[in-house]
Amino acid sequence: MMQLTEQQQHILNGGEGETLKKVLQTLIRYGEVFGATKMVPVTSQYNHLVTSFGLKALGPVYELMEQLIEAGAVSGQQFTADPRPVDKNVPSNFLLDFIFNNFMYTRQEFYEGQLNKLGLMEKDAFSCTCYMDEVGNKPQKGDILSWSESSAVVYANSVLGARCNRNSGIIDLMGSVLGYVPYFGLLTDEGRKATWIIDIQTTKKPEAQLLGSAIGMKVMEDVPFIRGLDKWLGTELDDAACTFLKDMGAATASNGAVGLYHVENLTPEAKEQGESLIAEGAKVYVIDDAELQRVYDSYPIMWKNKEAKPKLCFMGCPHMSLEQLKSWTDKVEAGLKEAGNSKVVVPTVFTAAPAVLKEFEKTPYAKRLRKTGVITSYICPLMYMNNPLAGKMPVITSSNKLRTYTTARYYTDDEILIEITKGGK
Give the binding range for ligand F3S (CB under 6 A) out of 106-114, 227-235, 327-335, 374-382.
374-382
Please tell me whether residue 247 binds ligand F3S under the rule CB under 6 A: no
CB of 148 to ligand F3S, least distance (A): 11
Contact 127, 52 (CB under 8 A): no
Contact 20, 73 (CB under 8 A): yes
- CA–CA distance, 278 with 250 (Å, rounded to integer): 22
Give the binding range for ligand F3S (CB under 6 A) out of 9-17, 189-197, 282-290, 312-320.
312-320
β-pair partners for 227 = 199
Task: Tell me which residue of 346, 368, 369 sits closest to 415, measured CA to CA.
Answer: 346
CB of 316 to ligand F3S, least distance (A): 7
Give the binding range for ligand F3S (CB under 6 A) out of 88-96, 281-289, 317-325, 367-375.
317-325
Contact 152, 250 (CB under 8 A): no
Question: What ranges make up the beta strands (E) of 217-330?
Answer: 224-227, 262-263, 278-287, 312-320
| Count of helices and strands (H, E) across the chain | 19, 13
Q: Binding ligand F3S by CB under 6 A: which of 121, 381, 404, 416?
A: 381
- CA–CA distance, 129 with 237 (Å, rounded to integer): 16
Please tell me whether residue 382 binds ligand F3S under the rule CB under 6 A: yes
Give the binding range for ligand F3S (CB under 6 A) out of 184-192, 237-245, 287-295, 377-385.
377-385
- CA–CA distance, 238 with 181 (Å, rounded to integer): 31
CB of 376 to ligand F3S, least distance (A): 14
Contact 211, 248 (CB under 8 A): yes
Angle between helices 322-339 and 239-255 (to 10 degrees): 90
Q: Binding ligand F3S by CB under 6 A: which of 159, 214, 317, 325?
A: 317
Binding mask 194-233 for ligand F3S (x = CB under 6 A): ----------------------------------------
∠ CA 117-119-124, rounded to 5°? 105
Helix, strand, coil % over all residues of the chain, rounded to 5: 45, 15, 40
- CA–CA distance, 353 with 124 (Å, rounded to integer): 8
Q: Binding ligand F3S by CB under 6 A: which of 42, 49, 121, 250?
A: 250
- CA–CA distance, 173 with 323 (Å, rounded to integer): 31
By beta-carbon proximity to ligand F3S, the closer residue of 161 and 381 is 381
Give the binding range for ligand F3S (CB under 6 A) out of 35-43, 227-235, 315-323, 324-332.
315-323
Q: How many residues bind ligand F3S (CB under 6 A)?
A: 12
Give the binding range for ligand F3S (CB under 6 A) out of 14-22, 104-112, 274-282, 313-321.
313-321
Element (H, E) at 325: helix 322-339
Q: Which residues contact 189 (CB under 8 A, 6 or more apart)?
A: none
Give the binding range for ligand F3S (CB under 6 A) out of 108-116, 118-126, 286-294, 314-322.
314-322
Hey, is 346 helix, strand or coil?
coil
CB of 81 to ligand F3S, least distance (A): 10
Please tell me whether residue 380 binds ligand F3S under the rule CB under 6 A: yes
By beta-carbon proximity to ligand F3S, the closer residue of 187 and 382 is 382
Termini Cα distance of the chain: 63
- CA–CA distance, 287 with 274 (Å, rounded to integer): 20
Q: Binding ligand F3S by CB under 6 A: which of 262, 326, 401, 409?
A: 401
By beta-carbon proximity to ligand F3S, the closer residue of 181 and 349 is 349
Please tell me whether residue 354 binds ligand F3S under the rule CB under 6 A: no
According to CB under 6 A, which residues from 55 to 84 bind ligand F3S? 82-83
Please tell me whether residue 356 binds ligand F3S under the rule CB under 6 A: no
Q: Which residues contact 105 (CB under 8 A, 6 or more apart)?
A: 53, 54, 55, 56, 85, 86, 383
SS3 readout for 389-401: HHHCCCEEECCHH
Binding mask 143-182 for ligand F3S (x = CB under 6 A): --------x-------------------------------
Please tell me whether residue 246 binds ligand F3S under the rule CB under 6 A: no
Give the binding range for ligand F3S (CB under 6 A) out of 30-38, 263-271, 338-346, 378-386.
378-386
Please tell me whether residue 85 binds ligand F3S under the rule CB under 6 A: no
Give the binding site for ligand F3S (CB under 6 A): 82-83, 128, 151, 250, 317-319, 380-382, 401
